[in-house]
A and B are shown apart, each in its own frame.
Chain A
Amino acid sequence: MEITPSIHVKDLTRQYGALTAIHKVNFSVNPGEVVGFLGPNGAGKSTTMRILSGIMSATSGSAWVGGICVAQNPHEVKRKIGYMPENNPLPDDMRVVEYLRFRARLKEVPGRKLRASVQEAMEICDLARTARRKIIGTLSKGFRQRVGIADALLGNPEVIIMDEPTIGLDPHQIQGIRKLIDNLRGKHTVILSSHILPEIERSCDRVIIINRGRIVATGSSAELREEFLPGNRFSLIVEGSDTDVAICLAQRGLEASILESTPLADNRSQLILRVENEGDLGSQLIQALGKHKDFTLHSIAPRVPNLEEIFLAATKRSWEETIETKPKITA
């Protein structure tokens, strides 16, 4: 067999009383991958992460981290995981370096490597010069997140799990954290959760979309785009009527449909086109629409669906599926 996946999850289910937080979740993550866990609030992201890190037990199903079963050998699994929980709890009365040394000792970093590994984690997270001796309670939110990440990095774990690492940060800080995650790529397997879509799209190799406790879609954002919103999309602004544009495109042999039309000022309107043809569509469209007596083309831009649209489409589809399956059972 080829390489053992860093994380392998099979039919994982967790119930809180009558509520099913996650239902038969299956996925696996290869070593060195950065995977984003995406889902609305209450979708089951944190539950899955907590089960993986061994804090919580699953109702049924199993999870393996680095080839070791979490339920059977939680102690060994914890050596392989660096976990940063949601809201990143830290003791407010300790100094950064004290806290990290304490954590390193808890994580069984050997005594002679202790100082070096704490220093390394602080340097990766840019804490070494600025916040080394500061009291954690006085740190800004961005620095607190860095301390949390530095803590997750201690002991050089195989897998790093971060639950909402960028929650409540400003754009500069988010960028900083993103760079930091980029640095981890290849060295560690990283799983992070978020409901902030652009962040996931930029920092993750692969996305797992989870909604209402079920995995709705997995893949890179390009694959997801192909699956949920296929075809090439263009956004154009024209002066003239929509029907003329459609007729003109049909005459030129372009299989295009107008998905949306928003009227703008001065008899202009913004159109969103979906074109099925292959090849260099941009220039074909410009040639087709550029010189025409009935309307004037003002601008044309390819429109790549962002993760937000994919996410909405995927979660919408999962809603429809769950609603559709129910009548089938009764019928």
Chain B
Amino acid sequence: MLFISPSTYIAAVLFLCLMGFLYWAILRGMVNTPSEILPTVQFFSVFWIPVFFVVPLLTMRSIAGERSIGTLDTLMTTPTSRVAVILSKFAGAYLFYMLLWVLTIGFPLLTEKLYPHAAESGALLELAPLAGSFLFLATSGLLFISIGIFASSVTRSQLVAGMLTFTTLFVVIVGGQQISNLADANGDLASWMVATVNYLQIFEHLDDFSRGVIDTRPFFYYASTSFLLLGLSTLVIEAKA
């Protein structure tokens, strides 16, 4: 259903337009004020902008849409297990999300093609930060998409699902940073809380990954929370099909 519905393609076009614009803006910024940070790293540090709208658009329909038109009922009468239903919904949205990110490699490639002299330094397509950033996107995507799937499974309204996804994503992405800001201001956070907050800091994870520091803790964080959310979604559709 994802690949034949127009909303998917609208999300994709919006995403690529926005990301293209951001990439262009970053390059322009580099021209005006040379920076130490690689354009790729800068580009991926704004990953949260598209996540806020692409993830809700991709996932809100998945189960809420099926429930509201009633096809969830027909799906439930087939000998397909609930787990398979949730996992396939998740896989569809996740793969599409990753496909969109992979397409953004086109931006540096295009730049290199059109302005070969600009790319002489090799800064545009440096492999390590690119690979690190993609690894980060792939793991954090697990969590983001499963948030969307869960939000979609609890309601029959796509709008509610979309809003729920958006607000949850906002809390998850920005929340960790805000807590640590709060802690900086007060400066009296217990040491175990510092550890917890750092564990939840998505931006910190991105920094580590793009610098090539691959820690297992973020992997565990994203995998376990998405596993939990998908499990809950399975229970939800089991209970209120």
Task: Of the listed stretches B15-23, B73-81, B186-194, B201-209, name the one at the interface; the rest are far from the partner chain.
Answer: B73-81
Given the contacts A91-B1, A93-B1, A93-B4, A106 and B78 also touching, CB distance less than 8 Å: yes
Residue numbers in B under 8 Å from A75 (CB-CB): 79, 81
Residue numbers in A under 8 Å from B241 (CB-CB): 55-56
Residue numbers in B under 8 Å from A94 (CB-CB): 1, 4
> Interface size for chain A: under 10, 10 to 19, 20 to 34, or 35 or more residues?
20 to 34
Asked if B69 CB lies within 8 Å of chain A CBs, one says: yes
Given the contacts A55-B241, A56-B241, A91 and B69 also touching, CB distance less than 8 Å: yes
Please report the C-alpha to C-alpha distance between residue A94 and residue B76 in the assembled complex, in whole angstroms.
19
Q: How far is the CB of B159 from chain A (nearest CB, A)?
A: 19
Task: Label chain B's interface by main secondary structure.
Answer: loop
Quick check: A78 and B77 within 8 Å, CB to CB? yes
Quick check: A78 and B71 within 8 Å, CB to CB? no
Residue numbers in A under 8 Å from B81 (CB-CB): 75
Residue numbers in B under 8 Å from A151 (CB-CB): 74
From the candidates A50, A55, A90, name the one contacting B71 in the complex (CB within 8 A): A90
> Interface size for chain B: under 10, 10 to 19, 20 to 34, or 35 or more residues?
10 to 19
Q: How far is the CB of A140 from chain B (nearest CB, A)?
A: 18
Residue numbers in A under 8 Å from B77 (CB-CB): 53-55, 78, 81, 83, 85
Quick check: A78 and B70 within 8 Å, CB to CB? no
Closest to A106 in B: B78
Quick check: B74 and A85 within 8 Å, CB to CB? yes
Asked if A108 CB lies within 8 Å of chain B CBs, one says: yes
Q: Report B47-76 CB contacts with A as 1/0, cut-off 8 Å.
A: 000000000000000000000011101111
Q: How far is the CB of B31 from chain A (nearest CB, A)?
A: 45
Quick check: B76 and A108 within 8 Å, CB to CB? no
Quick check: B69 and A106 within 8 Å, CB to CB? no
Residue numbers in A under 8 Å from B35 (CB-CB): none
Asked if B196 CB lies within 8 Å of chain A CBs, one says: no
Residue numbers in B under 8 Å from A103 (CB-CB): 74, 78
From the candidates A54, A76, A89, name the one contacting B74 in the complex (CB within 8 A): A89
From the candidates B69, B73, B80, name the one contacting A55 in the complex (CB within 8 A): B73
Please report the C-alpha to C-alpha distance between residue A128 and residue B79 in the assembled complex, in whole angstroms.
26
From the candidates B4, B69, B78, name the one contacting A78 in the complex (CB within 8 A): B78
Q: How far is the CB of B50 from chain A (nearest CB, A)?
A: 25
Closest to B1 in A: A91
Closest 5 pairs between A and B when the two form their complex, measured CB to CB = A89-B70, A106-B78, A83-B77, A78-B79, A85-B73
Q: How far is the CB of A289 from chain B (nearest CB, A)?
A: 57
Please report the C-alpha to C-alpha distance between residue A90 and residue B1 in the assembled complex, in whole angstroms.
12
Q: How far is the CB of A85 from chain B (nearest CB, A)?
A: 5
Please report the C-alpha to C-alpha distance between residue A87 and residue B73 in the assembled complex, in whole angstroms.
11
Asked if B33 CB lies within 8 Å of chain A CBs, one says: no
Please report the C-alpha to C-alpha distance between residue A89 and residue B69 in the assembled complex, in whole angstroms.
6
Closest to B240 in A: A56
Please report the C-alpha to C-alpha distance between residue A243 and residue B5 in the assembled complex, in whole angstroms.
74
Please report the C-alpha to C-alpha distance between residue A56 and residue B74 in the assembled complex, in whole angstroms.
12
Asked if A134 CB lies within 8 Å of chain B CBs, one says: no
Q: How far is the CB of A105 from chain B (nearest CB, A)?
A: 9
Q: Which of the listed residues B71, B75, B76, B81 has the most CB atoms from chain A within 10 Å of its own CB?
A: B76
Residue numbers in B under 8 Å from A90 (CB-CB): 71
Residue numbers in A under 8 Å from B1 (CB-CB): 91, 93-94
7 extra interface residue pairs, beta carbon distance < 8 Å, beyond A54-B76, A56-B241, A103-B78: A54-B77, A75-B81, A78-B78, A85-B74, A89-B70, A91-B71, A108-B79
Residue numbers in A under 8 Å from B79 (CB-CB): 75-76, 78-79, 106-108
Closest to B70 in A: A89
Residue numbers in B under 8 Å from A78 (CB-CB): 77-79
Residue numbers in B under 8 Å from A54 (CB-CB): 76-77
Residue numbers in A under 8 Å from B75 (CB-CB): 106
Q: Which of the listed residues A55, A79, A103 has the most CB atoms from chain B within 10 Å of its own CB?
A: A55
Please report the C-alpha to C-alpha distance between residue A85 and residue B78 in the assembled complex, in whole angstroms.
13
Residue numbers in A under 8 Å from B74 (CB-CB): 83-85, 89, 103, 151
Please report the C-alpha to C-alpha distance between residue A115 and residue B71 in the assembled complex, in whole angstroms.
22
Quick check: B76 and A107 within 8 Å, CB to CB? no
Mark out the residues of chain A between 68 and 111 whose CB falls within 8 Å of any chain B CB in the assembled complex: 75-76, 78-79, 81, 83-85, 87, 89-94, 103, 106-108
From the candidates B5, B73, B76, B78, name the one contacting A93 in the complex (CB within 8 A): B5
Q: How far is the CB of A165 from chain B (nearest CB, A)?
A: 14
Mark out the residues of chain A between 106 and 145 whose CB falls within 8 Å of any chain B CB in the assembled complex: 106-108
Residue numbers in B under 8 Å from A83 (CB-CB): 73-74, 77
Residue numbers in B under 8 Å from A50 (CB-CB): 73
From the candidates B70, B73, B80, name the one contacting A106 in the complex (CB within 8 A): B80
Q: How far is the CB of B123 from chain A (nearest CB, A)?
A: 44
Mark out the residues of chain A between 9 and 64 whose CB falls within 8 Å of any chain B CB in the assembled complex: 50, 53-56
Q: Which of the listed residues B1, B77, B79 has the most CB atoms from chain A within 10 Å of its own CB?
A: B77
Please report the C-alpha to C-alpha distance between residue A108 and residue B71 in the assembled complex, in whole angstroms.
18
Residue numbers in B under 8 Å from A108 (CB-CB): 79
Please report the C-alpha to C-alpha distance between residue A50 and residue B79 in the assembled complex, in whole angstroms.
15
Q: How far is the CB of A114 from chain B (nearest CB, A)?
A: 14
Given the contacts A87-B70, A89-B71, A107 and B5 also touching, CB distance less than 8 Å: no
Residue numbers in A under 8 Å from B76 (CB-CB): 54-55
